[in-house]
Amino acid sequence: MTVTEMKNRLKGVLNPKRFKHSIGVMEEAKRLAEHYQIDVKKAVIAGLLHDCAKYVEADEAISMLLRYGEQPDEIQRISFQLHHGLLGYYIAREQYDVTDGDILQAIYWHTTGKAGMTPLEKIIFIADYTEPNRAFNGLDEIRKTAYFDLDLCVQLCADSTIRHELSKGRLLHPLTIETRNDMILRRLGARA
């Protein structure tokens, strides 16, 4: 499937705001990939499709994940925000003919991140926050950091999510904390 065909299919299932966001993430992921000399085609497809499961209703998403052999944890089961990345892996593979494991993994991990992310996973995680349609406190600093320190930028994105979830009194997913700690431990030289 070509990128244009992917865009057309995605446009048919996502609401206009989510589709615009997806294009924004695709464009920002492309810029970051060029800057860091990461495979641009993979970044474009992963950015475009990262939210491709966002149209699936929460209950249906959980039953689909179980059918695919996933075991969403108790926090992922409650929060739609957290399980659409997992489901996106399967929808990208089955409805958009994506076979590349790097792209699929970047979609899978985009909501929480994880310890030991690849550069492609990091730029999709970051572009989701920094794409041009986004606006929130602290975003200017995050945007600037994206172009000189990927790890620090991932940490700032995780910080921002953690602060936001705390301010709303919501659950935190342990992977968000792991992502943040991983970036700090690497910077301190405590992890290779």
- Which positions ≥6 away from 123 have C-beta within 8 Å? 29, 32, 33, 36, 38, 43, 150
CB of residue 128 to Fe ion, shortest distance in Å: 4
If the CB atoms of residues 9 and 186 are measured against Fe ion, the closer one turns out to be: 9
CB of residue 185 to Fe ion, shortest distance in Å: 25
If the CB atoms of residues 110 and 180 are measured against Fe ion, the closer one turns out to be: 110
The runs of H, that is alpha helices, within 79-173 are: 80-95, 101-108, 119-130, 139-146, 150-168
- For residues 112 and 172, give the distance between their C-alpha atoms in angstroms, rounded to a whole number: 10
CB of residue 81 to Fe ion, shortest distance in Å: 7
If the CB atoms of residues 114 and 186 are measured against Fe ion, the closer one turns out to be: 114
CB of residue 91 to Fe ion, shortest distance in Å: 12
If the CB atoms of residues 70 and 186 are measured against Fe ion, the closer one turns out to be: 70
Answer yes or no: are the C-beta atoms of 85 and 112 closer than 8 Å. yes
If the CB atoms of residues 27 and 186 are measured against Fe ion, the closer one turns out to be: 27
CB of residue 77 to Fe ion, shortest distance in Å: 17
If the CB atoms of residues 111 and 145 are measured against Fe ion, the closer one turns out to be: 111
- For residues 153 and 123, give the distance between their C-alpha atoms in angstroms, rounded to a whole number: 9
Q: How many CA atoms lie within 13 A of 76 on its CB side?
A: 22
- Looking up tokens 């935190």, which residue turns up? 172
CB of residue 15 to Fe ion, shortest distance in Å: 13
| Chain positions contacting Fe ion, by CB under 5 A | 51, 128
CA nearest to 41, candidates 56, 53, 51, 26? 26
Answer yes or no: are the C-beta atoms of 178 and 115 closer than 8 Å. yes
